[in-house]
Amino acid sequence: MGNELEKKKKDTIWVAKNLFQRNKVSGSSANISFRDGDKVYISATNTCFGTLEEEDFSVLDLDGKHLDGPKPSKEFPLHLFMYSKDSRNGAVIHTHSFYSTLWSCLKHEDKRDLIPSHTPYLDMKLGKITLVEYAAPGTKELFDNFCSAMNEGNGYLLKNHGPIVAAEDVLKAFYALEELEESSKIAWHLRNERI
């Protein structure tokens, strides 16, 4: 069990640093977590993906009780909701990546299927993307809005804020997040074109 936990930590740190190096996150504005049994390891408040280390994880139980480590990201409830909605989810990533955030700022008629399927890969990796109405980061209103928007999918755009995705493990969450960002980029550039 110890080796599995260490692998999850190493994979999560690799994903965080990779996202930082590729300019998909900046400063301390993102958060990442993984589940290990009945515990959730989430990046602590004010941590930077570019310098994330093993001691930068806060440990919570599935009810949000702080068990160990530094203070968790204020958006930890979003992560817990993703774990509680589907027991297969083993990792959650929330960023403010550029094109996904741009796309979240537009007005959308269909809030349950935000991003056009210009390529097949978003549907293959993540499925339909749902919009979560705006509320200030870390607030009860945001958490309530997120709960109201939750459906069977694992990909969401927080309005004027950024994407949050869940998957079976952190590498699959990373791949899904990258596809969401790429699909948002394609949609942004083609938004006034007829395909």
The residues annotated as belonging to the active site are 75, 121
Q: Could you tell me if 57 and 36 are in contact, meaning their C-beta atoms sit under 8 angstroms apart?
A: no
Residues 70 and 48: their CA atoms lie apart, in Å, by 14
Q: Which two tokens stand for residue 146?
A: 């997120």
Residue given tokens 């990046």 in the structure block: 43
Residues 75 and 96: their CA atoms lie apart, in Å, by 13
Interior angle at CA 64, CA 47 and CA 55, nearest 5? 35
Residues 158 and 145: their CA atoms lie apart, in Å, by 9
Parallel, antiparallel or unpaired: strands 39-43 and 57-61: antiparallel
Q: Which two tokens stand for residue 27?
A: 């400063």
Q: List 60's β-bridge partners, or say none.
A: 40, 66
Residues 93 and 169: their CA atoms lie apart, in Å, by 10
